[in-house]
């Protein structure tokens, strides 16, 4: 049999195949880049948590005329990591916080370049604290709802920054010099926080209340808590660290994963204890509540979910399941 000569590939077909392969590779590369664009590194997540923990450790809350519970939350309020704080004075009834909370909201910014007293010396890093009057409950002098936030720098001889919620008082803004040891608080941020992250962090700080609890015989004794809310590595995932208010750096760590509906509303929040990252010897009570109106003494919607977690640093915490928090019940039909 005679052998037919092999046909040469058409130049047009060869070019088309080459273009197709290159286009597919470029598409996969772009898709991979876009998928990872919103991610944070483990080091960036750890640095964000450490910044908030340092602020919390140096912050003191006082309500000199009230015996109600105190709570402090720190989170981020801008793409490049400006700090936001929320001090809360509130009461608990059993396992649930009650309406009638008093809020003192404030921002913490790296102080801009200023005129140093001695131009020959490099000025120390500083923070600028400012009260947010639109998100705070301002009260009259002498009332039991007076609430004060004090930020004490590492050098105890330095003057602390003081903010208060008393209307007409000068505690509207204050600056504090940090010293060299706190330089990381004003160090450049990764600037990867998205508008969705900022909206979510601000909303969670209004919905979540916490206590640090210790078993005292047959009873459980609970005290105020300090909360840090920040982004985790993947988009729509977040971290919650709970510490004893005014205590050491020991924490109970939780992971939060947000899911939204087709219209962008928060649908549910999956909460899971991060036992491996926790070293707080006490238990933690977490309560999720609606965003009550300012000054409301009674509301129609109560606490949706409340649970007392055992010390996450203990063997009893191993195998704790994740929980689903119903955000639709908390936020009704409002978009956030």
What tens digit of pLDDT does each residue of 288-336 get?
988 877 656 555 556 778 999 999 998 888 889 999 998 888 887 454 5
Residues 73 and 51: their CA atoms lie apart, in Å, by 13
Q: Are strands 225-231 and 69-76 parallel, antiparallel or unpaired?
A: parallel
Residues 6+ apart with CB under 8 A from 209: 71, 88, 90, 97, 286, 287, 288, 289
Three-state DSSP state, 270? strand
pTM (predicted TM-score): 0.84
Give Dmax over CA atoms of the chain in angstroms: 112
User: Cβ–Cβ contacts within 10 Å for residue 56, how many?
Assistant: 22
Domains of the chain by residue range: 43-186, 193-331
Per-residue pLDDT of the chain (336 residues; tens, 9 = 90+): 555 555 555 666 565 665 566 555 544 444 344 445 689 999 999 999 999 999 999 899 999 999 899 999 999 999 999 999 999 999 898 888 888 899 999 999 876 566 677 778 777 777 888 899 889 999 998 899 999 999 887 666 667 888 999 987 766 677 777 666 677 788 889 999 999 999 999 999 999 999 999 987 778 899 999 999 999 999 999 999 999 998 888 999 999 999 988 777 778 999 999 999 999 999 999 999 888 776 565 555 567 789 999 999 988 888 899 999 988 888 874 545
């Amino acid at each position: 049999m005679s052998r037919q000569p092999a046909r040469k590939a058409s130049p047009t077909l060869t070019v088309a195949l080459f273009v197709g392969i290159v286009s597919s590779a470029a598409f996969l590369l772009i898709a991979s880049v876009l998928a990872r664009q919103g991610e944070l590194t483990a080091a960036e997540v750890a640095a964000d948590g450490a910044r908030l923990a340092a602020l919390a450790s140096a912050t003191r809350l006082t309500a000199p005329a009230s015996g109600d519970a105190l709570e402090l939350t720190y989170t981020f309020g801008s793409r490049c990591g400006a700090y936001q704080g929320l001090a809360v004075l509130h009461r608990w009834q059993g396992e649930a916080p009650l309406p009638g909370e008093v809020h003192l909201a404030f921002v913490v910014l790296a102080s801009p370049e200023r005129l140093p007293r001695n131009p020959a010396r490099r000025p120390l890093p500083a923070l600028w604290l400012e009260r947010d009057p639109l998100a705070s409950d301002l009260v009259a002098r002498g009332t039991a709802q007076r609430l004060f936030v004090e930020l004490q720098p590492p050098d105890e001889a330095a003057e602390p920054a003081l903010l208060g919620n008393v209307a007409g008082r000068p505690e509207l803004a204050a600056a504090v010099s940090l010293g060299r040891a706190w330089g990381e608080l004003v160090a450049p941020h990764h600037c990867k926080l998205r508008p969705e992250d900022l909206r979510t962090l601000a909303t969670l700080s209004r919905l979540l209340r916490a206590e640090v609890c210790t078993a005292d015989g047959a009873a459980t004794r609970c005290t105020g808590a300090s909360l840090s809310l920040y982004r985790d590595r993947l988009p729509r995932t977040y971290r919650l660290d709970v510490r004893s208010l005014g205590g050491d750096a020991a924490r109970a760590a939780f992971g939060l994963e947000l899911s939204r509906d087709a219209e962008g509303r928060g649908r549910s929040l999956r909460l899971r204890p991060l036992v491996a990252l926790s070293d707080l010897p006490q238990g933690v009570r977490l309560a999720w509540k609606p965003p009550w109106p300012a000054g409301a003494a009674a509301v129609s919607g109560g606490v949706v979910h409340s649970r007392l977690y055992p010390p996450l640093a203990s063997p009893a915490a191993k195998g704790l399941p994740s929980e689903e928090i119903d955000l639709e019940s908390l936020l009704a039909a409002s978009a956030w």
